[in-house]
Chain A
Amino acid sequence: MKKLLMITAALAAAGFAHADMPSVEGSNVVGFAAVTAPGGKNTIITVPFEACMSSGTAGMLNDLVATSGLTSHSSDPALADQLVVLTTNGAAQVYYYYYNDTEDGWTAITSAMLMPDGSSQALTPPAATNFPIARGLGFWVKRVASVDSTLYVKGQVSEGKQATPISAGLNLIGYGAVEPFSLNSVDWTGAYGFGGISATTDRILVGNGDGTYSTYFYYVKKDGGSSYYDQFTNKWVKSTSTGPVLPSTQIPAGQGFWYHRRGTGGFTFRPEGQ
């Protein structure tokens, strides 16, 4: 009986000891975000993730954008969903087209690049397995099916801070957030506004899912303006007939948008700060 008590006490001690042992945490966290991809529409998406097992490294296109649930075709890109990426090839803007091949997934489409002299060059994008997509880059998903679908973007949750260059003109970007966010909840240091809403005010165009956009302007109060406008200064606003209005909706994770840089030069978008 005494022996039995000793064994019980030993087991209890072992149990306590087990409870006190530290757990071994995995070195990374991965995930996915579901983005609504309306049927028959073109939608701007962004990937809030990075490459798995490579902290701080951009993932490859085929790893980051799942093909499940999307329309594929074995040979005809016109009959398959596509991704279209506006990027740079050296200093020049280029568009890379990919379609969802039934066997091979995202597959590059060669496009004709027309030159200023009227000549044409074939432009074949890098393979989707070899094309890194930086967190915060925006690009198109082009749906051929008439019904809505869910697009999954996936990868490793980034521990670093996003830094996305924005140049003069139109930029396809996004905030690599893993949950919905408000435009005014992130850092926009470098955005340009002047004198209320003007022709040089930076603006953001967010797709409404039906081919239209909601436009937001970066508001900076006019010199000497009423203190009423302080609430809008250095914020993104909608322009209405009654004045500026703060946005009431959030942008879903995985949705990209146009940034129209109308201020001089560019800046680096650091939504999570320096």
Chain B
Amino acid sequence: MKKTLSMVSGLLLAASVFGADGLEQLTLSISTPGPDTYADGTQVLVGETYLLVYVKQGATFQGLFTDGTLVDPENNKIATKAFAVEGAKCGYTPIQYPAALFPEGGSWVIVLLDTRKADGMVGGLVAGVGSGAATGAASALSTSLNSVGGGAAGSGAAPTLNVSAPTLALANTPQPEITAVLPKAGGAVDVRFKNISDKALYNVQSATDLAGEWQTVATRVQASSQNIVQGANGAELPAAVQVPAADKVRFFKVVVPNATK
């Protein structure tokens, strides 16, 4: 018994020594060779957002909600952000972290976001994501200078990133309701709706026949302090759309896409 206990203690001691005898801090750098693209094939804009996501062992990256939060926060963790630079690529960003924070066995994924607003500028809610190949997280005993996305120094171009999947709407997104429709000259129409969330992306759809096909006439409509207006029913979000000027009849509805959760 005494001998067994002694052996176990010895093993525990060896394990603790081994676990503590590596590096306190680890480092890696993130970058992409570019050009990275949005789902429509256009190159990402300067200032667009990239995430470095740690994925726990045995898990995969499960995507984001429109507000940028993780679909699977139990197994995915956002370590840091980086931003696109000239060349439509992730700007070189070194990080360093306590070795125990992101343990070996997990992996790293660079995620490209599409945060373009209706006006085409970045910085809005997240409409889509694209992720690169997973790279194993280093151990405290790593003797390599690690990198993610750009590959090892000079190892050749890594694949470019493309936004390939939409984000999901949050589960508690309220059902929008149109409060006003105002036809203007030349086919321009102002639509306003209530029950809005500042974490949701709205599409406005239109049709000339209620039983016909609905077409999207406005995308990425999102509420901010700059564009919401106070109507009789509280905060309302306006959307300016364009339809054929010669239409005799036209219908509109507002949808929140990908509200699957």
Contact = CB atoms under 8 A, between A and B. Distances in A.
A78 B154 contact: no
Contacts of B14: 199-200
Contacts of B215: none
A145 B24 CA distance: 30
B23 A144 contact: no
B9 to A, nearest CB: 15
Given A41-B154, A144-B153, A168-B21, A116 B101 contact: yes
Given A41-B153, A42-B152, A93-B25, A169 B20 contact: yes
B155 interface: yes
Nearest to A80: B92
B211 interface: no
Nearest to B143: A258
B98 interface: yes
Interface in B76-116: 77, 79-80, 85-87, 89, 91-98, 100-101
Interface residues of A, number: 43
Contacts of A260: 21, 141
Which residue, of B89, B143, B153, has the highest number of chain A Cβ atoms within 10 A?
Answer: B153
Contacts of A95: 25, 27, 94, 96
Interface string B149-178: 010111110000000000000000000000
A84 B27 contact: yes
B6 interface: no
Nearest to A78: B92
Contacts of B155: 40
Interface in B1-58: 14, 17-18, 20-25, 27, 29, 31
Judged by DSSP, the binding face of B is loop
Given A95-B94, A109-B94, A140 B154 contact: no
A82 to B, nearest CB: 8
B144 interface: yes
Contacts of B20: 168-169
Given A42-B145, A169-B22, A199-B18, A144 B93 contact: no
Given A169-B20, A169-B21, A205-B143, A120 B80 contact: yes
A97 B145 contact: no
A111 interface: yes
A93 B96 CA distance: 10
A118 B156 CA distance: 32
Interface residues of B, number: 40
Interface string A167-202: 011100000000000000000000000000001100
B21 A261 contact: yes
Contact of B153 (A76, A143, A213): A143
A30 B126 CA distance: 58
A135 interface: no
Given A93-B25, A109-B92, A213 B143 contact: yes
A142 B25 contact: no
Which residue, of A40, A78, A97, A142, has the highest number of chain B Cβ atoms within 10 A?
Answer: A78
B17 A262 contact: yes
A173 B23 CA distance: 14
A126 interface: no
A39 interface: yes
Given A78-B92, A86-B23, A123-B96, 17 more contacts: A41-B154, A42-B145, A77-B92, A78-B91, A84-B145, A94-B96, A111-B27, A111-B94, A111-B95, A112-B80, A113-B95, A114-B96, A116-B98, A118-B77, A140-B145, A169-B20, A260-B141
24 contacts: A40-B154, A41-B154, A77-B92, A78-B31, A78-B92, A78-B150, A84-B145, A86-B23, A93-B24, A109-B92, A112-B80, A112-B94, A112-B96, A113-B95, A114-B80, A114-B96, A116-B100, A123-B96, A143-B154, A146-B154, A169-B20, A170-B22, A170-B23, A213-B143
Interface of B: 14, 17-18, 20-25, 27, 29, 31, 77, 79-80, 85-87, 89, 91-98, 100-101, 140-141, 143-145, 150, 152-156
